[in-house]
Amino acid sequence: MGFIFDHLVHFVEDPKVAIEELKVQGIHAVEGGIHENRGTYNALSYFDLSYIEFLSTYDRILVEQTEHLKYSLPETVVQDQFVEGFSRFAVRTTDIEGAANRFREKGLNINGPIPYSRKRPDGSLIEWQLLFVGDESDELQLPFIIQWNESDEERRNEQIEKNVIVPHPAGISFSHVTFAVEDGNHTVEKWSDFLDLKAGEVYIDKKLQARCQRLELPGGNLEFCSPIGEGVVSEVLEKRGEKPFQVNFSDGIRDAKFNLLGGIYNIIK
């Protein structure tokens, strides 16, 4: 069984603002759709099949008052008090039942798999299953697991036809997500075991004032950074706790870094 990076969730007040701001930076994003009876809707920015979901609410009271499954994304959004910024991420699999068994054997708490669906703007229906995984001993929330009802090839072809997957004017590809954590060694060791991922070498990022290490995940690597001095990592930990805080892109036509609705976007030439 293998896992692939699927998408990063960026909670925002207004996804249309994200679409317009990204356009200025040469990043293509489109309206997604409505999660009926769940109070949320989204916009999407694809990098092949890895994507960023700009999630928002059209009925915040419904989201607040619904009893959400433990370890689910809506539970996280409510716990974060609808603060703009990166929230959680998902990895995909083609064997979600096997994934449930794997995590159960690792001593983790699970909810699911549970079927979901939403309508696209053109009225078509998209369906998937989700598995929510929790580790009560750590603050950093584990990824949730997704299994799409279509194959990767079917999804890619469909999104290309709909002009959802297109080359970005900025020329970029998805690289990795950076997380602020208190103890990088601890997190890397646990997550590499949970997800069966290879760890890279430890290095010092002077700009972040942090000690960092990556896990190699197809579709988008995971970078865990612990503070060694005052900087953005220490600030994130103080304000939001252990969270993803930066998304990184490679192959850009220029180096660039910008803040967008509570998240940092870093383009590397």
CATH number of the domain bearing residue 181: 3.10.180.10
- 195 with 154, same domain: the answer is no
Q: If 0-12 CB within 10 Å is exposed, 13-18 middle and 19+ buried, where does residue 228 land?
A: middle
pLDDT value of residue 66: 92
pLDDT value of residue 122: 79
- 8 with 100, same domain: the answer is yes
Domain span at 260:
173-267
- 236 inside domain: yes
- 168 inside domain: no
CA distance 54 to 11: 6
- 42 inside domain: yes
The pairing of beta strand 221-227 with beta strand 173-180: parallel
Tell me if 225 sits within 8 A of 208, measured CB to CB.
yes
Half-sphere exposure of 180 (CA within 13 A, CB side): 25
- 166 inside domain: no
pTM: 0.95
- 124 with 225, same domain: the answer is no
- 242 with 116, same domain: the answer is no
Tell me if 172 sits within 8 A of 27, measured CB to CB.
yes
Q: Which residues pair with 178 in a beta bridge?
A: 223, 246
CA distance 151 to 79: 33
- 22 inside domain: yes
- 8 with 132, same domain: the answer is yes
Last residue of a domain, one of 118, 134, 161: 161
Weakly modelled stretches of the chain, pLDDT under 70: 1
pLDDT value of residue 108: 97
- 208 with 129, same domain: the answer is no
Last residue of a domain, one of 161, 184, 213: 161
- 149 with 191, same domain: the answer is no
Last residue of a domain, one of 132, 161, 190: 161
- 26 with 72, same domain: the answer is yes
- 129 with 153, same domain: the answer is yes
- 48 inside domain: yes
- 207 with 254, same domain: the answer is yes
pLDDT value of residue 37: 80
- 146 with 224, same domain: the answer is no
**Structural domains in the chain (count):** 2
pLDDT value of residue 253: 86
Tell me if 86 sits within 8 A of 178, measured CB to CB.
no
- 14 inside domain: yes
pLDDT value of residue 194: 96
- 148 inside domain: yes
pLDDT value of residue 252: 84
- 39 with 66, same domain: the answer is yes
